[in-house]
Amino acid sequence: MNADLVSVQAEVARLHAQLVRYNLVAWTAGNVSARVPGHDLMVIKPSGVDYDEITADHMIVCDLDGTVVQGDLAPSSDTAAHAYVYRHLPTVGGIAHTHSPYACAWAARGEPIPCVLTAMADEFGGPIPVGPFALIGSDDIGAGIVATLEGHRSPAVLMRNHGVFTIGATARAAVKAAVMCEDVARSVHLARQLGEPIPIAAADIDRLYGRYQTVYGQR
Ligand SMILES: [Zn+2]
């Protein structure tokens, strides 16, 4: 357990640097968490610590009710939302949350990002959906994420008037989805400035998604 936990803490700390590298976060507004395999525990960023200063030792260990079981700092203010998702979606091993700007521009309008690029079909298997408006401080955000993503192929949801939550089998997969979400949010936004983007046929989305999810990358 301890070796597992230390490696999860190191991975979650390392992934926060990717949020900065891909320009997904301003100040400290964004976070990554991971489930500790085989345990009802999660590792999440502490609240309000600069990304440059984050180390594995800072990472907070919580149970899946969001109660801190190890760590000296207060956990991310989004801990309850992450914990809710882990409780309700057992295949989720990692979660990322950002206020990345182009994705937030869609979230501010409450508009799903239409599937008009093959990269979107690959990663999201369709449009990126919008979740409900929800205030922090209860289970509303977590419940909105789960209700929107359950039965949806997209690993990303745009929470209305808020930002992006992504899920994955691993924390790395969740961060990748957050990077791709911002990338396609930007490209589709740019396309919109020039005219109406052309939809991809549903059957082609299915083919692209199926191929990417089973064939792409190193196996
Ligand atoms: Zn947020």
pLDDT band, residue 1 (cuts 50/70/90)? low
Task: Tell me the mean pLDDT in the region 179-193.
Answer: 98
Mean pLDDT of the chain: 95
Which residues are placed with Cβ below 5 angstroms of ligand 1, an ion?
163
Task: Tell me the mean pLDDT in the region 166-189.
Answer: 98
State the catalytic residue, choosing from 22, 51, 122, 140: 122
Q: How far is the CA of 98 from the centre of ligand 1 (A)?
A: 6
- Among 24, 28, 27, 63, CA closest to 43: 63
Annotation marks residue 86 as catalytic: no
Give the model's pLDDT for residue 215: 79
Annotation marks residue 102 as catalytic: no
Q: How far is the CA of 69 from the centre of ligand 1 (A)?
A: 23
Q: How far is the CA of 214 from the centre of ligand 1 (A)?
A: 32
- pLDDT at residue 218 greater than cutoff 90: no
Give the model's pLDDT for residue 175: 98
pLDDT band, residue 4 (cuts 50/70/90)? confident
- pLDDT at residue 40 greater than cutoff 70: yes
Q: How far is the CA of 3 from the centre of ligand 1 (A)?
A: 31
Task: Tell me the mean pLDDT in the region 135-159.
Answer: 95
**Burial group, residue 3, by CB count within 10 angstroms (0-12, 13-18, 19+):** exposed
| Cα(41)–Cα(121) distance, integer angstroms | 32
37, 38, 40, 45: CA torsion to nearest 10: -20
pLDDT band, residue 2 (cuts 50/70/90)? confident
- pLDDT at residue 28 greater than cutoff 70: yes
Sign of the C-alpha dihedral computed for residues 120, 124, 127 and 130 taken in this order: negative
Do 140 and 194 meet the contact criterion of CB atoms below 8 Å apart? no
Give the rounded percent of residues in the chain with a pLDDT score beyond 90. 92
State the catalytic residue, choosing from 4, 40, 57, 216: 216
What is the pTM for the complete model shown?
Answer: 0.96
The contacts of residue 203 (CB under 8 Å, 6+ apart) are: none
Task: Tell me the mean pLDDT in the region 193-218.
Answer: 92
Q: How far is the CA of 15 from the centre of ligand 1 (A)?
A: 17
pLDDT band, residue 219 (cuts 50/70/90)? low
Q: How far is the CA of 208 from the centre of ligand 1 (A)?
A: 31
